[in-house]
């Protein structure tokens, strides 16, 4: 008995999928209040996800993630940042099978109760 060779096609993952996975994974970590828009110049108007606080770069089937977050006032910033890094890397690796090069977390602000939700 000989088995027929298996034919495999290509799997293409839209960048928006990676953005969504990274954003939802980060927001699911206790202590993260919300994302913050990525600061930038004119070029940011033409790039996806920057208003959502997430930047994704794909290099040779590997992913680099940059997150801009606002954390809750009663959390340890270092612990929350490390938990976000671990959770985002795990989610991308498990959901799409891509290698994660790095997850850079920028804490842009701290949210206080009754503060401005803009």
pLDDT tens per residue, range 7-44: 788 888 888 999 999 999 999 999 999 999 987 654 44
The pair of three-digit structure tokens given for residue 75, joined into one six-digit string: 């959390």
At 100 the three-state DSSP class reads strand
Largest CA distance in the chain: 71
**pLDDT at residue 48 greater than cutoff 60:** no
Report how far residue 79's alpha carbon sits from residue 99's, in angstroms, rounded to the nearest whole number.
Answer: 23
Residue 12 placed within a domain:
no
Residue 87's domain is classified under what CATH number?
Answer: 3.30.70
Residue 1 placed within a domain:
no
Residue 37 placed within a domain:
yes
Q: Residue 19 in contact with residue 64, Cβ under 8 Å?
A: no
Residue 52 placed within a domain:
yes
**pLDDT at residue 46 greater than cutoff 80:** no
Residue 75 placed within a domain:
yes
**pLDDT at residue 76 greater than cutoff 80:** yes
Residue 87 placed within a domain:
yes
Residue 55 placed within a domain:
yes
Report how far residue 89's alpha carbon sits from residue 64's, in angstroms, rounded to the nearest whole number.
Answer: 10
- Stated pTM of the model: 0.81
Domain count, the chain: 1
Q: Which pLDDT tens digit goes with each residue over 87-114?
A: 999 999 999 999 999 999 999 999 998 8
Its domain, for residue 94, covers 33-111
Residue 22 placed within a domain:
no
């Amino acid at each position: 008995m000989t088995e027929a060779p298996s034919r495999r096609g290509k799997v293409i993952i839209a960048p928006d999928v990676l953005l969504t996975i990274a954003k939802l994974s980060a927001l699911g970590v206790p202590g993260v209040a919300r994302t913050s828009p990525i600061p930038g110049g004119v070029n940011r108007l033409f790039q996806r996800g920057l208003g959502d606080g997430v930047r994704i770069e794909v290099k040779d089937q590997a992913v680099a993630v940059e997150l801009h977050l606002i954390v809750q006032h009663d959390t340890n910033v270092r612990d929350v940042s490390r938990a976000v890094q671990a959770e985002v890397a795990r989610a991308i690796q498990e959901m799409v099978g891509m290698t994660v090069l790095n997850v850079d977390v920028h804490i842009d602000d701290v949210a206080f109760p009754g503060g401005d939700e803009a």
